[in-house]
């Protein structure tokens, strides 16, 4: 059985750092999801969802819908010159916040062959380790936030149903073997349930709790370690006081033990480099590199964009490039960019002046 969903009352949702800004909930993105990203307003939901319980039927397969950039749009900054070196190889996925809501798209790294993956609202897209599926976060038929999966061409979309009647699960991080998803869990009726949970990636079942967030905090998963034994996450304060944000980069073992902070510097959640040595995270308005064992954080200085706000970075397959969102100082919105890991050779991927683009992720090698 399928149905169109009504928007959820935004008053019932906490301000969170999980970057679920217009997923039928009005939320404000903070340090774990991208610092100063522009909040969006809840809009009517147009996505038809299906249950992943036995006997459920997924959406009919369909051809992906090519989407071109906004007519007449111009680059805001950092467009490479004709003599620039070739673009890095790969496929990207990202979410676009515009008048329709938030919509996931895929494209080549240079912005060509852009295709809409699903209708609004579905966000937080992330590639599975083998590249055969993507996870997205959406509202299910129980009016809860939960994960779903879809093929890279937009076919075979399945939205998971929950066995828990009050627990929302924003699932972002795949385990290295592709069998589990790490999720931010929260219960609007019981804040003591806030924490990280994991579920099976095939149907959302086998719910396991990993962390217990302190009062008034949210734990946002960023990535697994290469051996799958630990989860890198952000412990966020969604409503910081006048002293400023005090979100921190953390790590925890899958059994919930050895939970500890990786840096004293306030920063968000992170993505692990392909070689497993470095975590790419956000600190203030800058992308930052942190050794996986903790230690000195190194901000990335982006060439020709000293005043831009960079956030939500992810690594290329070879670890030499980064895809990220950038809000240039001379632009009203954020777009997707790629650059070399040292901040050089930044290139603008999307050119959509009436939208914000976030949640970028780089597809695994084919």
Q: DSSP code of 262?
A: S
Structure tokens at 299: 């901000």
Residue 220 has pLDDT above 90, yes or no: yes
Q: What gap in Å lies between CA 96 and CA 75, rounded to an integer?
A: 17
Tell me the pLDDT band of 214, cut-offs 50, 70 and 90. Answer: very high
Confirm if 148 and 160 have CB atoms less than 8 A apart: yes
SS (H, E, C) 314-346: EECCCCCEEEEEEECCCCCCCEEEEEECCCCCC
Confirm if 287 and 299 have CB atoms less than 8 A apart: yes
Q: What is the pLDDT of residues 336-356, one digit of tens each?
A: 999 999 999 999 999 998 899
Residue 74 has pLDDT above 50, yes or no: no
Look at residue 307 in the predicted model and tell me its pLDDT: 74
Q: What is the pLDDT of residues 290-345, one digit of tens each?
A: 999 887 899 999 987 767 899 999 999 999 999 999 998 888 899 999 999 999 99
Look at residue 330 in the predicted model and tell me its pLDDT: 81
Q: What is the pLDDT of residues 3-29, one digit of tens each?
A: 222 222 222 222 223 334 333 332 323
Mean pLDDT on 146-175: 95
On the CB side of 282, CA atoms within 13 Å amount to: 32
Residue with tokens 């050794």: 291
Q: What angle do CA 15, 338, 221 make, to 5 degrees?
A: 35
Considering the chain, what is the average pLDDT of its residues?
79
Q: What gap in Å lies between CA 239 and CA 343, rounded to an integer?
A: 31
Q: Is the omega angle on the peptide bond into residue 121 within 30 degrees of 0, that is, cis?
A: yes
**CA 189 to the chain's CA centroid:** 25
**Local structure of 12: helix, strand or coil:** helix
Tell me the pLDDT band of 142, cut-offs 50, 70 and 90. Answer: confident
Task: Please say whether the structural domain 3-362 has been given the CATH code 2.120.10.30.
Answer: yes
Q: Where are the domains of the chain?
A: 3-362
Which residues, other chains included, contact 224 with Cβ-Cβ below 8 Å and sequence gap of 6+?
173, 174, 175, 176, 182, 230, 231, 232, 272
């Amino acid at each position: 059985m399928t149905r169109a969903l009504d928007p959820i009352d935004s008053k019932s949702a906490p301000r969170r750092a999980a970057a679920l800004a217009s997923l039928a909930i009005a939320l404000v993105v903070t340090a774990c999801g991208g610092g100063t990203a522009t909040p969006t307003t809840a809009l009517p939901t147009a996505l038809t969802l299906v249950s992943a319980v036995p006997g459920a039927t997924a959406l009919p397969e369909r051809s992906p819908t090519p989407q071109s950039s906004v007519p007449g749009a111009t680059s805001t900054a950092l467009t490479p010159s004709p003599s620039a070196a070739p673009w890095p190889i790969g496929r990207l996925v990202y979410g676009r916040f515009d008048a329709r809501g938030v919509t996931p798209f895929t494209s080549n790294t240079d912005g060509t062959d852009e295709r809409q993956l699903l209708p609004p609202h579905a966000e937080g897209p992330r590639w599975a380790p083998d590249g055969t599926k993507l996870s997205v976060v959406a509202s299910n038929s129980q009016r809860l936030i939960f994960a779903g999966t879809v093929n890279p061409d937009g076919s075979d979309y399945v939205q998971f149903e929950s066995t828990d009647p009050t627990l929302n699960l924003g699932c972002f991080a795949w385990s290295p073997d592709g069998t589990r998803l790490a999720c931010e869990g929260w219960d609007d009726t019981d804040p003591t349930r806030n924490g990280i949970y994991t579920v099976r990636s095939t149907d959302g079942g086998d719910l396991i709790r990993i962390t217990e967030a302190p009062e008034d905090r949210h734990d946002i998963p960023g990535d697994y370690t290469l051996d799958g034994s630990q989860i890198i996450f952000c412990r966020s304060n969604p409503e910081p006081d006048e002293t400023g944000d005090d979100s921190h980069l953390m790590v925890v073992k899958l059994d919930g033990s050895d939970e500890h902070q990786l840096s004293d510097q306030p920063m968000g959640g992170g993505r692990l480099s392909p070689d497993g040595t470095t975590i790419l995270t956000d600190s203030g308005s800058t992308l930052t590199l942190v050794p996986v064992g903790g230690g000195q954080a190194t901000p990335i200085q982006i060439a020709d964009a000293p005043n831009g706000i960079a956030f939500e970075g992810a690594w290329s397959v070879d670890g030499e490039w980064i895809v990220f969102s950038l809000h240039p100082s001379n632009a009203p919105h954020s777009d997707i960019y790629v650059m070399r890991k040292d901040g050089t050779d930044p290139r603008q991927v999307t050119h959509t002046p009436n939208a914000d683009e976030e949640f970028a992720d780089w597809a695994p090698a084919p």
